C-alpha cells in the first residue's frame, strides 16, 4: 500500500509495515533529524523522498485559506498534504490540523496513536484586545494591534 507519512505519523511507528511503500518530504526528514528521534536511522533508508508539484501545493494553500488552517499548518505540513493529494495516497498523521484539511481535500488519513478528528473545523481569528473577528490570519489585529487567537467558526 502506498502511503505518505508526516512527522507525527513516523513518531507512531517502530517499524514500517512490510506492505507499505512509504513517501515523505525533505521537510519531514529535517524534522526527524531536528527532534533527534532514535528511529530516524532505521526508518530513513526505507522511505522514498518526494516533493509535490507547485500545482498541488497551490490546491492545498487555497483550501487552507478557505478553512482558516493556513496559520495553523507549517510549510512541511502543507507539503505533506500536497504530496498525499497528488499521489492519491493515504496520509499517516496524528496531527489534527492536517487531518482537518485532509478531510476537506478528500485525502484519506490514517491516525496512528490518536483517535482522529470527529468533524471538520473552520477557523476565525479573534482579537484579544478589541474583540473583532477576522476570517483571515494577521500577525496582529489590524484595528488595535493586539494579538489574535484562533477560534472555531460558529
Q: In sequence order, which ranges of 36-94 are alpha helices (DSSP H)?
A: 40-43, 54-67, 75-87
Taking only Cα atoms into account, the Rg of the chain, rounded to an integer number of angstroms, comes to 17
Mean pLDDT across the chain, nearest whole number?
A: 89
Specify whether the CB–CB gap between 84 and 9 falls below 8 A. Answer: no
Q: Is residue 139 scored above 90 in pLDDT? A: no
Query: pLDDT tens digits, residue range 30-61?
Result: 998 888 877 777 888 899 999 999 999 999 99
Residue 13's contacts (CB-CB under 8 Å, 6 or more residues apart) are: 5, 39, 43, 112
Please give the average per-residue pLDDT across 124-134, as a whole number.
89
Which domains are seen in the chain, by residue range?
A: 2-110 (3.40.50.1010), 123-152 (2.20.28)
Strands (DSSP E) along the chain, which ranges?
2-5, 21-24, 48-49, 91-92, 109-110, 123-127, 133-134, 148-152
Query: pLDDT tens digits, residue range 89-123?
Result: 999 999 888 999 999 999 999 998 777 777 776 77
* The three cell numbers locating residue 2: 502506498
Amino acid at each position: 500500500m502506498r502511503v505518505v507519512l508526516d512527522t507525527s505519523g513516523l513518531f507512531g511507528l517502530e517499524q514500517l509495515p512490510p506492505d507499505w511503500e512509504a513517501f515523505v518530504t525533505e521537510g519531514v526528514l529535517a524534522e526527524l533529524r531536528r527532534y533527534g528521534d532514535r528511529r530516524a536511522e532505521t526508518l530513513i533508508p526505507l522511505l522514498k523522498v518526494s516533493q509535490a508539484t507547485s500545482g498541488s501545493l497551490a490546491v492545498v494553500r487555497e483550501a487552507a485559506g478557505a478553512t482558516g488552517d493556513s496559520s495553523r499548518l507549517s510549510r512541511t505540513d502543507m507539503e505533506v498534504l500536497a504530496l498525499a493529494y497528488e499521489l492519491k495516497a493515504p496520509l499517516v498523521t496524528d496531527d489534527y490540523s492536517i487531518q482537518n484539511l485532509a478531510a476537506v481535500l478528500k485525502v484519506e488519513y490514517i491516525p496512528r496513536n490518536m483517535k482522529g478528528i470527529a468533524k471538520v473545523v473552520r477557523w476565525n481569528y479573534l482579537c484579544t484586545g478589541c474583540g473583532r473577528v477576522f476570517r483571515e490570519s494577521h500577525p496582529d489585529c489590524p484595528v488595535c494591534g493586539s494579538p489574535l487567537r484562533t477560534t472555531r467558526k460558529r
